[in-house]
Structure 1
């Protein structure tokens, strides 16, 4: 019945729209591609696609198969990559997804010694995820997820790496700079800078402002840590970052960190991996080194 070839064909049709382009993408002849689907249609006794001019459109049955392809084909590709690496005597590859923007500075201290210990392991770091990397981990697009906000699921194992306190960052000359802690209502006239993350997933909102039914005067997005802190140092607004990162930058910039509320906001960085891959040595060693890397 269903074979991997069918999944690849329907995925190519969905992506390219025409038989010609799909055949070219799969390095097959149009007749071979068409024959394969006609044979499947005969077995299933239902149409898989229908022609609309020069384009092909998947039927309900075709969409159902293509939905399966989205879930299954990445597993094939990942396993084939591992098998190819084994056959060629290579250790593997480690694709790291980052949901923690400021953790990039910490990650550099992990990767440097790791590359020396594992010279045959290729590393790729993907930072484009905005709290959407869990799906990428489940779909084999990445191998490791670094996040301060784990979404626990049965198929993912999260390992705590290090804890820290989330802090408000202000200019050294800001009225709040000498406060031991800040109350939510003291930020209502402030401009808040943050990374491009949904407000409901930002701790300053979810754990501090929103429960107190407060907000800031203006919320602006800045993608880079350095520019964000330059803006804060210039008195243009405030931001929220891990305390260890603020401590590093405060050595060269006129900024200070202030606790959120009397008790603060405690956070933890986790590394997420797929549960059935705990036996991979180079992956486990990455977690071990990450746990021992100093912030």
Structure 2
């Protein structure tokens, strides 16, 4: 009820959404406010708006309802022979090109373990792991977080990416100064540890003068392919986009830049749990070749 009214701002619309009459819903609001001894909504510009108490209750409602939906989803899977569901996250740098083939092979070997991909935790995989939204995640760069276990996958290379017609195309490697002198396309403007800002820009004491935040890999690649700037990306993530054409790569400095991929899961995860079984399968899968 709280969620429906907050989303619609209207008792009539909320009642229709919930499948009850408007008078019945109005009665429920009054009863809830009586039990809690506080006002949950006030009217502003013909809309019902949550009070501070209503906002607190709304937050809890969204958490509870979200968990109920996940529980129903899991139980539905259990009813068709799947005994466990493992939720897997992926960070912004990570790609999905390897998942279909890997998951098909994993399901053939472990038919009782269902996999659910949670797509909206790319910027906060460790928070999602801690609060139980996911059971494991693919991440890159150093992991210095308490309460997590790390399963190494492979070492990758960070490469500079640009359009085929870019003035810097064709060079075997680019300096930090050359990259910083171009419009830089990135996921977000908060530097992540162990990646290009730490390994390249901070180390060489330069920063890009023009930065475009694109949010997701597809958008970053689209802007780069259109000649709008340059980016730095793991070669593994970039692979499918290179095969589509229109892009070229160069090394980052004459020494190159490496980055490690790993699986992270909760430290107290039992060794024989479905999440640990999936993590072990990922470590054996030679994902760098996919």
Q: Does 1:20 align with 2:17?
A: no
Are 2:188 and 1:197 equivalent residues in the alignment? yes
Between stretches 70-79 and 83-92, larger displacement belongs to 83-92
TM-score, with normalisation over the residues of structure 2? 0.70
The alignment partner of 2:153 has SS state of: strand
Matched, 1:29 2:28: no
- Identify which of 98, 111, 115 aligns with 2:103: 111
Going from structure 1 to structure 2, the CA distance change for 1:272 and 1:88 (only over 3 Å counts) comes to: same
Give the conservation status (yes or no) of the 8 Å contact 2:88–2:117: yes
Deviates more, 1:110-119 or 1:214-223: 214-223
Asked if 1 retains the 8 angstrom alpha-carbon contact of 2:176 and 2:252, the reply is: no
Matched, 1:164 2:151: no
Deviation at 1:113, TM superposition (A): 0.9
Contact 1:130 1:197 in 2 (8 A): no
* Residues in 2 aligned to 1:80 and 1:255: alpha-carbon distance in whole angstroms: 46
Q: How many residues matched?
A: 278
Select between 284-293 and 215-224 the one with higher mean Cα deviation. Answer: 215-224
SS in 2 for 1:147: strand
Residues 13-55 of structure 1 deviation map (CA, whole Å, 9 limit, x = unaligned): 1111111222222223333333333223223322222345753
Counterparts of 2:7 and 2:238, CA distance in 1: 45
1:289 has 2:281 as partner: yes
C-alpha displacement of 1:161: 3.6
Offset, 1:145: 2.9
Please report how far the alpha carbon of residue 61 of structure 1 lies from its aligned counterpart in structure 2 after TM superposition: 1.6
Please state whether the residue corresponding to 1:197 is helix, strand or coil: coil
Q: Secondary structure of 1:145's match?
A: strand
d(CA) in 1 for partners of 2:39 and 2:269? 39
Counterpart pick for 1:258 among 251, 269, 280: 251
Secondary structure of 1:90's aligned partner: coil
Q: Is the 8 A contact 1:136 1:142 kept in 2?
A: yes
* Cα distance in 1 for residues equivalent to 2:283 and 2:29: 51
Between the aligned partners of 2:246 and 2:8, the Cα distance in structure 1 is: 51
Structure 1: 5+ residue stretches without partners:
1-8
1:71 to 38, 41, 63: 63
Retained in 2: the 8 A contact 1:167–1:260? no
Please state whether the residue corresponding to 2:191 is helix, strand or coil.
helix
Q: Secondary structure at the residue paired with 1:103?
A: coil
Q: TM-score, normalised by structure 1?
A: 0.69
Distance in 2 between residues matched to 1:50 and 1:254, nearest whole Å: 55
